[in-house]
Amino acid sequence: MTHPNATPGERRRVRIREVGPRDGFQNEPETVPTADKIRLINMLGQAGFTRIEVASFVRPDVIPQLADGVEVLRGIDLPAGVERMVLVPNSKGLDNALRHREYFESVALFVSASQTHNKRNINRTVEETMADVAVMGRRIVAEGLRLCAVIATSFGCPYEGEVPLGRVLDLAEQFAEAGAAEIGFGDTTGMANPAYAGRFFAAALERLPGVEVTAHFHNTRGQGLANAYAALEAGCTSFESSFGELGGCPVPARSTGNIATEDLVSMFHEMGVDTGLDLDKVIEAARTAQQILGRTLTSHSIIAGPVPWARAATH
C-alpha cells in the first residue's frame, strides 16, 4: 500500500546505513552485554540493512562500551552482501583492525571540521589527523576495503560556532584524494537547519563527483528529519541513522540523539521513497533495544507504530 499522495512513476531509492551498534551504543551510558549486541545486530540484518556500522577499534579504556568489538564481529550472523563497517581512530586502531580483516568490508575514518572539537574529541589537530588519513587511506584501499570518511561538526561546532562550508568541502576533497569512496557529513551536535542542509548537500554533490555523499543528522534540536528531507531534495540518496534514536556525541555532554532509523524509514516510505527495509522489523529491533536498556527511548515510531502505507519494503 502506498500513500494516496505518493506520485506514481516517481519512486526514488535511498540507502540507509544503520549506525546504532557503534555510534549508538558508544554514546549511551550503559554498556550493552555482548550477547545482546549480537542479537540486536542480527535483528537489524533481518530488517534488510545492507550497511551496518558494527564496531570500532578505539582503545577500550577510552570507550569501554565498545571494548567487545571483535567478539561482536565474530558473533554476528548477517545475510550475505551486508557491508559491515568498523570505525578506526588512528594508525594503531587500523593495525588492530587489520588483524581481523575477514570480519568487515569497510572502514570509517573521521575528523572534525572544527579544530576545537577535533582536539577535544581525539586530542589532535585537524592537520595531524588529515596527515594520518592520507597514509591510512592508502593502506585501507590496498587491503581491498571500502574507505568511508566521516566529517564531524560539518554544520556547526558547539565550541567555535559557524563552520564554513568551504572548509568542510576542502577536507572532503582531501579524503577523496586519500581514496574515500564515500564521505559522510555529520551534524554531530544537531546544529543544522533544513535550509542550510539543502544548500550544503547541493554544494557537496557538485564538488565531489564520483564520491558517494552521505547525510548523518542528529536530532539534538528536533530538526533531524527536516534536515534529511532537505538533503534528499538536494539529491542526496545516502543516509545514516540509529535505531531507537540511540547515540549522540561524547563531547560536549548532552549532545544526544542520532535521528531514529525507524522515523527516517517511516518518513521515506510515506513519501514513496524506497529504502529496501522492513519497517516493522526495524521497530521491533528498536523496541528490543529499549527492553535491554530498561528505559524509554526517544524515537517516535516505537511509540506510535507505523502508518499502514509505510510498512512495505519495496524495491
Known catalytic residues are: 249
CB of 46 to Zn ion, least distance (A): 23
Q: By CB under 5 A, which span of 2-10, 170-178, 254-262, 301-309 interacts with Zn ion?
A: 254-262
CB of 99 to Zn ion, least distance (A): 26
CB of 188 to Zn ion, least distance (A): 7
Cβ distance to Zn ion smaller for residue 68 or 245: 245
- Cβ neighbors of 53 (< 8 A, separation 6 or more) are 17, 18, 19, 21, 22, 23, 85, 86, 87, 108, 240
Give yes or no for residue 275 binding Zn ion (CB under 5 A): no
Per CB under 5 A, the list member of 153, 258, 275, 290 interacting with Zn ion is 258
Cβ distance to Zn ion smaller for residue 179 or 186: 186
User: Which residues in 4-23 contact Zn ion (CB under 5 A)?
Assistant: 23
User: Which residues in 22-51 contact Zn ion (CB under 5 A)?
Assistant: 23
Q: How many residues bind Zn ion (CB under 5 A)?
A: 2
Cβ distance to Zn ion smaller for residue 230 or 260: 260
Cβ distance to Zn ion smaller for residue 149 or 310: 149
Rounded Cα gap, residues 53 and 51, in angstroms? 7
Of 13, 14, 24, nearest to 250 (Cα)? 24
Cβ distance to Zn ion smaller for residue 179 or 224: 224
Q: Taking phi first (over 0 means left), then psi (-120 to 50 degrees means alpha), and beta for anything else, what does residue 156 get?
A: left
CB of 247 to Zn ion, least distance (A): 5
Give yes or no for residue 238 binding Zn ion (CB under 5 A): no
Burial 14-37 (b: 16+ CB within 10 A, else e): bbbbbbbbbbbbbbbeeebeeeeb
CB of 204 to Zn ion, least distance (A): 17
- Cβ neighbors of 111 (< 8 A, separation 6 or more) are 118, 126, 129, 130, 133, 149, 150, 151, 152, 171
Chain residues binding Zn ion by CB under 5 A are 23, 258
